[in-house]
Amino acid sequence: MRTPRTSRAARRKLISVAAISATLLSGTATAVALAGPAAAGTPSAEAAAPAASTAAPAERLIVGYKSTAAEAKSNSAASADAEAKGREAGEDLDFQRRLGTGAALVDLGDRLSKAEVADVIAEYEADPQVAYVVPDRLNKPLADPNDTEYSKQWDLFEATAGMRVPGAWDIATGSGVTVAVIDTGYVTHSDLAANIVAGYDFISDTAVSVDGNGRDSNPADPGDWYAANECGAGVPASDSSWHGTHVAGTIAAVTNNSKGVAGIAYNAKISPLRVLGKCGGYDSDIIDAITWASGGTVSGVPANTNVAKVINMSLGGSGSCTSATQSAINAAVNRGTTVVVAAGNSNANAANYSPASCNNVISVAATNRSGSKASYSNYGSVVDIAAPGGQTSTGTANGILSTLNSGAQGPSTESYEYYQGTSMAAPHIAGLAALMKSANSSLTPAQIESAIKSNARALPGTCTGGCGAGLADATKTVQAVSGSGGTGGTTYTSTAAVSIPDAGSAVESPITVSGRTGNAPSALQVGVDITHTYRGDLVIDLVAPDGSTYRLKSSSSSDSADNVSTTYTVNASSETANGTWKLRVQDVAAQDTGTINSWKLTF
């Protein structure tokens, strides 16, 4: 028996929007912007979303009766017929009204699957008094945004290697979400101003801040230019980058304002947090910015009134993630904030760079306009996803166009420029995370990461070394988390705690998967929650039903941080999905113990 009928408005919220077609630098500071040169128990299963679909099932039907039928003239007869057809199909149908053509509009009740809709249609088609029955389709205006430079934003819409953003705008535009851009600050730009909310200047060293003071509530970017050798021997001079403003424009430039560029989450808000100045920025300032952005308390800094649900950090430095940075990231994620970071621009393994190698982040590699890994982009097993970052060496227009300023040193006139870098790729994912959070406010950071990976498409080009789950697909991902398509995945979870002995034998935690067909996916998500006082001691493997093993984590004598709380991506496409999967964990060194708290597989 179905639950009592609720109004259509209560069961489904339609968002009315126009459908849119279509070097790392060494120096005393430890982080720099990552942009290339401009123009240069018992396991359980839970369904997270409907099965993959590019179109949602119908919610209403238009039924045309033959002129001789009583239902063609009598609303009560049409209503009685809908109820009868519903009983036959096992659904709750409701006659809504008579159309001007005389056809009957029939509501299908709570959201039905395609198969259930087909059953209802079959009941009507079997009735000789029914002339036709068709879905009541939802139509939308078809228009490109009117931003004058939108046609140059191949990264949003091009079929080959764009991130397929326009289709996501049918569902969400970022409303209600604040994104913290932890970067160089913000220089005034009319194509961004309406979406800027209060931020903070976290640079405490005046030699780095170059604005005449330390920390304050003004995140304005005075410019980060430097003279030759000022940032280290042999380092050439550089003009101001206005890097934070370029990143912010990709995420949330004002859209449909007849000027400039379109932002990915164009109704989201940007909170600019300044941590990078002359020659870079320090970990300590970045850690405080992460804490404050996510709603944590920082001594001497007023409470944040614009808490961010997404953080973008298009910055990094050499060396693996430190315990200090990891602690700040973990706390931010625990508060419900998704942290997106750039993988780095050294064409090297991202495991040797921070924050790209930190746990609990979405680490983003950059692709070029052909969909291959950009020549400069870092790669490796710590990379989660790829997104357009551009490559201007093949032509300026093959970079990422966004908001900028023309000043070589201090601010001058606003402008738009092409940049390249993993700095440009990361805000594509931050913008996507904002769209997802806008479409489904209950999403956790882990769910956001998992959905982005599960709905990625294979790279159109190549990537040697590893580019994560593939090229992000905004439309499919937002459809998935909103329940209107995509692949949200089915998750199988074990919550039975398993102790990990100190320097002992490997222990295993099983999950039995059943009811699936075929093989596991090429981007199987393995979520792990392990408490341990020195995670560098741990070796973690996924064991497939046939005994094949997939290394998730190796031991490391330099990784002294606590706990493993992250999601790994495994290409398990050669493995049969059904069967008993195991998480195998071994502590290979003395003095520390831990526990497998839980783990999960998302197909």
Which one is predicted more confidently, 2 or 105? 105
Claim to verify: residue 265 and residue 128 sit in the same structural domain: no
pLDDT greater than 90 at residue 27 = no
Which of 412, 419, 437 has its CA nearest to residue 244? 419
Question: With contact defined as beta carbons under 8 Å apart, do 355 and 318 qualify?
Answer: no
Which one is predicted more confidently, 574 or 197? 197
274 token code pair? 């300044």
Last-in-domain residue among 482, 516, 532:
482
Q: Does 103 fall in a domain?
A: yes
Which one is predicted more confidently, 455 or 1? 455
Q: Which residues pair with 277 in a beta bridge?
A: 280
Mean pLDDT, the chain, whole residue set: 87
Pick the range with the lowest mean pLDDT from 4-13, 152-161, 444-453, 496-505: 4-13
CATH number of 530's domain: 2.60.120.260
Name the pLDDT band for 188 (thresholds 50, 70, 90).
very high
Alpha helices in 212-351 (DSSP H): 243-252, 283-293, 323-334
Which one is predicted more confidently, 193 or 107? 193
The DSSP secondary-structure symbol of 391 reads: -
Q: Which residues pair with 542 in a beta bridge?
A: 550, 583
Pick the range with the lowest mean pLDDT from 49-63, 305-319, 549-563: 49-63
- pLDDT tens track for 530-539: 999 998 999 9
Q: Within 13 Å of residue 394, how many CA atoms lie on the same side as its CB?
A: 15
Claim to verify: residue 478 and residue 495 sit in the same structural domain: no
SS3 306: coil
Q: What pLDDT does residue 53 have? A: 31
Question: With contact defined as beta carbons under 8 Å apart, do 456 and 480 qualify?
Answer: no
Q: How far apart are the first and last CA of the chain?
A: 31
- Catalytic annotation on 554? no
Claim to verify: residue 112 and residue 237 sit in the same structural domain: no
Question: Which position among 346, 354, 363, 423 bears the catalytic label?
Answer: 423
396 token code pair? 């300026």
CA distances from 63 to 57, 93, 136 (A): 17, 12, 10
Question: With contact defined as beta carbons under 8 Å apart, do 306 and 198 qualify?
Answer: yes
- Catalytic annotation on 243? yes
pLDDT greater than 80 at residue 6 = no
Claim to verify: residue 297 and residue 171 sit in the same structural domain: yes
Distance (Å, whole) CA 260 – CA 416: 8
Q: What pLDDT does residue 57 have? A: 66
pLDDT greater than 80 at residue 150 = yes
- pLDDT tens track for 102-130: 889 998 877 778 888 888 999 999 999 99
Q: Does 40 fall in a domain?
A: no
Claim to verify: residue 360 and residue 458 sit in the same structural domain: yes
Question: With contact defined as beta carbons under 8 Å apart, do 344 and 388 qualify?
Answer: no
- pLDDT tens track for 208-235: 999 989 999 999 999 999 999 999 899 9
Pairing of strands 178-183, 269-274: parallel
Angle at CA of residue 454, ends 453 and 460, nearest 5°: 70
pLDDT greater than 90 at residue 562 = no
pLDDT greater than 60 at residue 252 = yes
Taking each continuous run of H as one helix and of E as one strand, the counts in the chain are 11, 26
Q: Which residues are CB-contacts of 226 (< 8 A; sequence separation ≥ 6)?
A: 235, 237, 238, 278, 279
Q: Does 44 fall in a domain?
A: no
Q: What pLDDT does residue 263 have? A: 98
Domain that holds residue 170: 150-482
CB atoms within 10 A of CB 321: 22
Q: What pLDDT does residue 514 have? A: 84
Domain count, the chain: 3
Claim to verify: residue 437 and residue 393 sit in the same structural domain: yes
CA distances from 165 to 36, 264, 296, 364, 435 (A): 23, 7, 32, 17, 10
Q: Does 421 fall in a domain?
A: yes
Question: With contact defined as beta carbons under 8 Å apart, do 582 and 552 qualify?
Answer: no
CA 55 to chain centre: 21
Q: What pLDDT does residue 28 have? A: 34
Distance (Å, whole) CA 474 – CA 121: 32
- Phi, then psi, of 84 in degrees rounded to 5: -65, -45
Which residue shows structure tokens 């910055």?
315
SS3 489: coil
Q: Does 3 fall in a domain?
A: no
Mean pLDDT of 422-430: 98
Name the pLDDT band for 143 (thresholds 50, 70, 90).
low
Distance (Å, whole) CA 486 – CA 51: 7
Q: What is the pTM of this model?
A: 0.66
Largest CA distance in the chain: 92
CA 506 to chain centre: 34
The alpha carbons of the chain give a radius of gyration, in whole angstroms, of 26
Q: Does 19 fall in a domain?
A: no
Question: With contact defined as beta carbons under 8 Å apart, do 420 and 365 qualify?
Answer: no
pLDDT greater than 60 at residue 178 = yes
Peptide linkage before 355 cis (omega within 30 of 0): yes
| Long-range pairs, 463-466, Cβ under 8 A, ≥24 | 463/365, 463/367, 463/372, 463/373, 463/379, 463/386, 464/373, 464/379, 465/349, 465/373, 465/379, 465/380, 466/379, 466/380, 466/381, 466/383
- pLDDT tens track for 29-77: 446 777 654 433 323 222 222 222 334 567 889 999 999 999 999 999 9
Distance (Å, whole) CA 466 – CA 469: 9
Q: Does 51 fall in a domain?
A: no
Last-in-domain residue among 135, 166, 201:
135
Q: Does 8 fall in a domain?
A: no
Last-in-domain residue among 135, 166, 187:
135
Claim to verify: residue 97 and residue 187 sit in the same structural domain: no
Question: Which position among 155, 170, 183, 473 bears the catalytic label?
Answer: 183
- Catalytic annotation on 183? yes
Claim to verify: residue 277 and residue 305 sit in the same structural domain: yes
The secondary structure of 28-80, three-state, reads CCCEEECCECCCCCCCEEEECCCCCCCCCCCCEEEEEECCCCHHHCCHHHHHH
Claim to verify: residue 215 and residue 339 sit in the same structural domain: yes
Distance (Å, whole) CA 342 – CA 254: 23
Pairing of strands 490-494, 594-602: antiparallel
Claim to verify: residue 455 and residue 535 sit in the same structural domain: no
Claim to verify: residue 265 and residue 394 sit in the same structural domain: yes
Distance (Å, whole) CA 366 – CA 423: 8
Claim to verify: residue 468 and residue 503 sit in the same structural domain: no
